[in-house]
Amino acid sequence: MPPLRKSRPQAKLRSDEFPPGAPHWPVGMDRRQFLQVSASLLAMLGASCRPPRDEILPYVKQPEDQVAGLSSYYATTYHFQGFARGLLAESHQGRPTKLEGNPQHPDSLGATDASTQASVLGLYDPARPQAPEKHGQVNSWDAWKAEMWAAIGRCPNGKGLAIAMPPTSSPTVQRQLKHLRETFPQAAIAVDEPRWGPPPEPWDYDLESADVILGVEPDFLTNHPSSIRYARNFAKRRRGWETELQLNRFYALHSAPSVTVSMADEAHAATPDKRLELLKAIANQLNGGAKSKETFAQHAAEDLRKAGSRALVIPGTFASDSEKELCAQLNDSLGNEGTTRHSVKPVRIDCDNENLMSMDALGEQMDQRNIRVLLLLNVDPLTHGQDIWRQRLKQVSLSCYFSTMHSEAAQEVDWMLPRHHYLEEWMDLRAFSGEISIQQPLISPLYNTVGQPALLNFLLTGVMRPSYEVVRQTWLDIFGQSRESIWRETLRQGVGPKHFPQRTSGSINKTPPKPKTKEQASKYTLLMRPDPFIDEANANNPWLLELPDPITKQTWGNALWMNPEEARALNLKAGSVVRLNYGNHQVDIPVRPVLGLPANTLLAYAGYGRKNAGPHASSGVAIFPGESWTASASIQPIGKQVEMAETQHHFKMDGHDFVQLRKPGQEPKYKPQAETDSLYGKAPDKLANGDHAWAMSIDLSSCIGCQACVVACQAENNIPSVGEEQVRHGRIMHWIRVDSYQDTNGNDSTRLHQPVACMHCEKAPCEPVCPVEATVHTASGLNAMVYNRCVGTRYCSNNCPYKVRRFNFLDYQESQDSPSALQKNPNVTVRERGVMEKCTYCVQRINRARNEARREQQALKTDAVQTACQQVCPTNAIVFGDFKDPASAVRRRHHLESSYSLLKELDVRPRTQYLPRWLNPYKEESHG
């Protein structure tokens, strides 16, 4: 018999028959020991019968003006496209939780946009780099300093040293840049082509005075340093319910559907080439030439001529250079300078106005091996899809990438240097119109990071002077002796005096546009646009990734937008994946038919599909816009179908009137109706009970659908992100959503936006069906949700006609140990799994205002309470207040004849009412 040991297969077979360890006696605890341990555990359990203890850790030294449990506000500044946007940051015992706009700042006016709102979460992003890394290994700043300083020493006069940075309006950076050029005259200093599009035109628009606006590929409501002010002024002229108001008329000549285009009275979708033709036709007709054959151009030219100096032509960021030139000529011939348009001095350094190098020129230098030391300050050429840079980064002897977030370049460079988040860093910035403001840190740095002023100071002097001192030095240079009072006042107010940079070169040296290489003729033109919310700094921000796109309501990714008829012809549905070829890139991307996109045109957002920028940033498909933001493209279906995570699937009203439409001179269609008999009993008298009657009014003429309210609500009310998969299941948690409808009687490009949150019905259908009375009414008319009573039957949600209740199907909140938990608002409960939640009308703000009024021994002032969605709204579309107060804005709006409630036929008496969307299309008779 052969020895058993040799027959391996048999032995293997036998050992597989029983679970591992089966032949061994159990060792360790026997039964007696088990019982002993259980008994002693029980005894110990009994002996330890005390509730868990909390600790209180008071200050060692009490800070001034801190009231325990109350938040304080500090003025600081957000950098929007390199320009300042004033903020008031809310801090809870040193922990920034929420950002509000600074009412004094010209480019904020108390409001912000979605990206700004979400930027506070970036501070607590667990994916942030927390220490300098050399080749991916954690290292120290001292090591980098030694290496860098030695490397600089090997660059006489800066020869071989290269620095790249994005455009900025910061006086400190501009001063340091000047010093850098003096200290290192031969250094290559490049300014990146901005990732948010070409620089804005040097004009400031006064949209409040404009009667007729023609936008060419317009995006001034969202994608402009002053877009918040523009949105506010634009909306002031849209409120048809205001007496004595002449509505403006907005013509949009566009290729890409966008938030701005969705507000158009008259829109015309055309391919970029056709767009220019039409604009020429308009100019021709305006200058006395022949009437255009196209009615849009005809009407636009007629209205522009009629309005004269009160008309305005605005080229969008992505209008072509020839269009921008033509728009300037049109404006000149209208003679609107001084009325609707004012020239501004540029405050931002871009590569063409400071004789700085472009990234391409820097790349050429690197190819010629002229660069030995490269420092990338918040610039990652790899995110632009230029793979050639991968090689270039390897060629230099020392490459460093300095940024708040990891990025593609961070993997390729020698040193990844973490930067302060802007809420940790001293800096200064200018508004579009020149007002200087201070970026004040709210919290001392969470990690081993440094500020940009300190880092640049190190390059100049070899010492990392604190950023604060560097910024103060700038102010000494600018304001001289009076700096102290100006500094203090600016720090307090958030806005300082106007100040403009001195040009180093007398003339603006505009780099001539490169002759475009003639591409092979393809059927499609691919328009690439920056995502409305995502950019390089916040690519990993779950709030923004989960924020539905204003037009398609897609979350967690991008799609290839396509004309619906073309898509049908190719048998492509939403979610059909196609292989997209453009430039020298090829990607697989799902198709999304979008109304309002001209034929032969495709559109995709850039900013998604990042490789090394955090766990969330990889969602979506990477699109590299290159320099021109357009490319000819071809598509090929690959027969795959994906389900996109969308929050709205049907965009037609199908005969309903969710969004009511009104035109000037038109009578309201509906009159308030008498109360009907109902299962829910009679509505209580608003004015009888309670001390207040809280109510809300949303003006659909003002709402531009920018989604800022959604993120503001999320930040204020501790609303979790749920992730792509859960969004597909319809489990998104946003308390307020912005529904979007097509205007089926008008043009394809106009969208009707309607923010919907809990309506706080007086006869709330959710209340009688709750078996545990977890949702009940308060005397002041709030439909209260009591989390600790809720057992999660979801009956209330079933019975809610507006579908605004949200259920925690899973434990969506991040763990207590995650740094993101620090963002939570301590005044709002963090809901756990199995609990229903919904809009509370920001009851924590109501309570705070009430307590403050009580402390002052005064009655609550009119409109003292602002909900988060109201406060953030750039256009003041949302008004909240006490219906009982005769002076309140909400009462005034509710009493307007056109004010209506959504699904009024149900007669649930919602406290939130809407004002109709006013449209002002071209009218023949007004030109007779």
Partner 1 sequence: MSAKRRSRQAFGQHADAKLRLSALLGLITLFLLMGGWYVWARSPQLGKYQYRVGQPITFSHRHHVEELAIDCRYCHGDVARGPNAGMPASQACWSCHSQIFTESPMLEPLRQSITNNEPIRWQRVTDLKDVVYFNHAAHIQNGVSCQTCHGDVASMGLVYQAKPLTMKWCVECHRKPERHQANFKRVIATRSTPPPPIDFESEPPDDSLHTQINLTDCTTCHR
Which positions lie near partner 1, rule CB under 8 A?
42, 45-46, 49-51, 53-62, 67-70, 689-691, 776, 778-780, 782, 784, 786-788, 827-829, 840, 843-844, 846-847, 850-851, 854-855, 857
Q: How far apart are CA 67 and CA 92, in angstroms?
A: 10
Which amino acid is residue 152, in one-letter code?
Answer: I
Nearer to partner 1, 27 or 49 (CB): 49
Q: Can you tell me whether residue 467 is helix, strand or coil? A: helix
| 5 versus 50: smaller Cβ distance to partner 1 | 50
Least distance in Å: CB of 72 to partner 1?
A: 11
Residue 183 region by backbone torsions, left for phi larger than 0, else alpha for psi between -120 and 50, else beta: alpha
Cβ(893)–Cβ(697) under 8 Å?
yes
* Pairing of the two strands 311-315 and 661-662: unpaired
Min dist CB 314 to partner 1, Å, is 44
Burial class of residue 365, CB neighbours in 10 A (0-12, 13-18, 19+) = middle
Quote the Cα angle for 195-199-200, to 5°: 130
SS3 807: strand
Q: 830, 875, 870: which is closest to 846 by C-alpha?
A: 870
CB of 32 to partner 1, least distance (A): 15
Shortest approach of partner 1 to residue 822 CB, angstroms?
17
Tokens (6 digits) for 137: 């290994």
Residue placing its CB nearer to partner 1 in the complex, 789 or 803: 789
Q: How far apart are CA 800 and CA 838, in angstroms?
A: 11
Q: What is the per-residue burial (b if ≥16 Cβ within 10 Å, else e) of 696-710?
A: bbbbbbbbbbbbbbb
The answer to whether the CB of 252 falls within 8 A of the CB of 270 is: no
Q: Which is nearer to partner 1, 29 or 42 (CB)?
A: 42
Residue number, 22 or 688, with CB nearest to partner 1: 688
Please give the structure tokens belonging to residue 152.
Answer: 């600089």
Q: From the CB of 63, what's the least distance to partner 1, in Å?
A: 9
Residue type present at position 902: L
Closer to partner 1 by CB, 780 or 913: give it: 780
Nearer to partner 1, 55 or 654 (CB): 55
The residue (of 67 and 463) whose beta carbon lies closer to partner 1 is: 67
Q: Give the helix/strand (H/E) hosting 708.
A: helix 708-716
Residue with Cβ nearer partner 1 (505 or 788): 788
Smallest distance, partner 1 to C-beta of residue 829, A: 6
Query: Are the beta carbons of 907 and 676 closer than 8 angstroms?
Result: yes
Residue with smaller CB distance to partner 1, 362 or 835: 835
Token pair of 79 as six digits: 């950098």
Q: Which is nearer to partner 1, 67 or 674 (CB)?
A: 67
Per-residue tokens: 833: 């799994």
In whole angstroms, the minimum distance from the beta carbon of 855 to partner 1 comes to 6
State the nearest-atom distance from the C-beta of 850 to partner 1, in Å. Answer: 7
Beta strands in 291-422 (DSSP E): 311-315, 341-343, 373-377, 398-403, 415-418
* Least distance (Å) between residue 557 CB and partner 1: 34
Distance CA 293, CA 302 (A): 13
Minimum Å gap between C-beta 846 and partner 1 is 8
Q: Which among 520, 161, 672 is positioned nearest to 372, based on CA atoms?
A: 161
| One-letter identity of residue 69 | G
Spatial contact of 272 and 891, defined as CB atoms under 8 Å apart: no
Smallest separation (angstroms) from partner 1 to the CB of 851:
5
Ranges assigned E (strand) in 407-470: 415-418, 427-430, 436-439
Cα separations in angstroms, 132 against 48, 138, 143, 377, 621: 46, 6, 9, 14, 29
* Sign of the C-alpha dihedral computed for residues 30, 36, 42 and 45 taken in this order: negative
CA distance 337 to 203: 9
| Token representation of residue 318 | 């992505």
Nearer to partner 1 among residue 760 and residue 893 (C-beta): 760
Shorter beta-carbon distance to partner 1: residue 398 or 860: 860
Closer residue to partner 1 (CB): 66 or 298: 66
| Token couple for 115 | 């990206």
CA distance 295 to 835: 55
Q: How far is the CB of 42 from partner 1 (least distance, A)?
A: 5
Of 787 and 922, CB closest to partner 1? 787
Max CA pair span of the chain: 115
Nearest approach, Cβ of residue 55 and partner 1 (Å): 5
Instruction: Give the CA distances from residue 141 to residues 155, 424, 448, 450, 801, in Å, rounded to whole numbers and listed in that order.
Output: 21, 18, 9, 9, 58
Structure tokens at 53: 């203890």
| Rounded least distance, CB 689 to partner 1, Å | 8
Q: What's phi and psi for 236, nearest 5 deg? A: -60, -25
Q: Which is nearer to partner 1, 786 or 903 (CB)?
A: 786
Cβ closer to partner 1: 11 or 70? Answer: 70
CB of 449 to partner 1, least distance (A): 23
Q: How far is the CB of 273 from partner 1 (least distance, A)?
A: 56
Please identify which residue in the block is written with the tokens 């158009």: 264
Question: ∠704-708-713 over CA atoms, to 5°?
Answer: 130
Under a CB-based contact definition with an 8 Å cutoff, are residues 591 and 567 in contact? yes
Q: How far is the CB of 380 from partner 1 (least distance, A)?
A: 40
Nearer to partner 1, 893 or 911 (CB): 911
- Which residues, including other chains, have CB under 8 Å from residue 657's CB and lie 6 or more apart? 669, 670
Contacts of 53 (CB under 8 A, 6+ apart): none
Q: How far is the CB of 791 from partner 1 (least distance, A)?
A: 15
